[in-house]
């Protein structure tokens, strides 16, 4: 059977979440890079629109299906490959994982996504991104104050951690002051050396520009 194909962009936080989840579950996969900037964005071409009508990444071809939307993909992986789980058994902890996911994936990331920043314009995009990331991180930090152990929820890595790390990267990219969020920073430091997270990092992707300092 051919390995799954992940349509991904090296710096896309949504693609990054799925890469982490697949690495944690030790699912072999091939990456098909989709440049969000080359030629106006390869995600807008007719061929890729057939894969993902939203013209975004990621998309995952797996088990004879094509799936889109990173959180839906992670839940599919969890339900079809429950070994190395990314959701706790405890129902309250599971709800806390989903709560953190929702804050990041609905309340932060879409508001500083490429398509939104293009609409906002070059002059205002940094201020815009900083505003929404700061607003969202206040909520994440508050949630973590009652849920975190070693990781976002307790002492086991979950889907919440898969979503948090890419968003911290985005925050640094837009020069957000992260000092008010010590729990977020502690968890990010804890995970940066984890092999599954390290392999999923943008600098380790096949389409990462070779001229980047940390490539």
CATH number at residue 105: 1.20.1050.10
Helices in the chain by DSSP H: which ranges?
A: 13-24, 46-51, 70-80, 91-107, 114-120, 125-147, 159-173, 182-191, 195-200
Asked if 51 and 104 sit in the same domain, the reply is no
What is residue 212's predicted lDDT score, i.e. its pLDDT? 73
* Within a domain: 208: no
Asked if residue 138 is part of any domain, the answer here is yes
Domain containing residue 15: CATH number: 3.40.30.10
pLDDT of 215 reads 47
How many CB atoms sit inside 10 A of residue 26's CB? Answer: 10
Backbone φ and ψ of 84, nearest 5°? 55, 60
Each residue's pLDDT expressed in tens, for the chain with a length of 215 residues: 799 999 999 999 999 999 999 999 999 999 999 999 998 899 999 999 999 999 999 999 999 999 999 999 999 999 999 999 999 999 999 999 999 999 999 999 999 988 899 999 999 999 999 999 999 999 999 999 999 999 999 999 999 999 999 999 999 999 999 999 999 999 999 999 999 999 999 999 999 998 875 54
Same-domain check for residues 98 and 183: yes
As given in the structure block, the two tokens for residue 124 are 């205002």
Domain span at residue 51 reads 5-84
Please say whether the beta carbons of 10 and 208 come within 8 A: yes
- Do 58 and 111 have their domain in common? no
Number of domains in the chain: 2
Does 72 lie in the same domain as 100? no
Block residue for tokens 């508050």: 142
189 occurs within a structural domain = yes
pLDDT given at position 1: 77
Q: Are residues 165 and 79 in the same domain?
A: no
Residue 99 shares a structural domain with residue 75: no
Secondary structure (3-state) at 142 = helix
Question: Is residue 156, in this structure, part of any structural domain at all?
Answer: yes
Do the domain assignments include residue 206?
A: no
Residue 215 lies in a domain: no
């Amino acid at each position: 059977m051919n390995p799954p194909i992940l349509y991904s962009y090296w710096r896309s936080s949504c693609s990054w979440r799925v890469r982490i989840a697949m690495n944690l579950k030790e699912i072999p996969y091939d990456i098909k890079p989709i440049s969000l900037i080359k030629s106006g964005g390869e995600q807008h071409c007719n061929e890729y629109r057939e894969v993902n009508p939203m013209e975004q990444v990621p998309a995952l071809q797996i088990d004879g299906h094509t799936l889109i939307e990173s959180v839906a993909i992670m839940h599919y992986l969890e339900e079809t490959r429950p070994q190395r789980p990314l959701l706790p058994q405890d129902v309250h902890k599971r709800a806390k994982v989903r709560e953190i996911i929702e804050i990041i994936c609905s309340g932060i990331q879409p508001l500083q996504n490429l398509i939104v920043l293009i609409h906002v314009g070059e002059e205002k995009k940094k201020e815009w991104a900083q505003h929404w990331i700061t607003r969202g991180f206040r909520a994440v930090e508050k949630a973590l104050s009652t849920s975190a152990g070693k990781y976002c929820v307790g002492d086991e890595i979950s889907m919440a951690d898969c979503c948090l790390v890419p968003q911290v990267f985005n925050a640094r990219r837009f020069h957000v002051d992260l000092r008010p969020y010590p729990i977020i920073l502690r968890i990010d430091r804890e995970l940066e050396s984890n092999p599954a997270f390290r392999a999923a990092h943008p600098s380790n992707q096949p389409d990462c520009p070779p001229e980047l300092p940390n490539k």
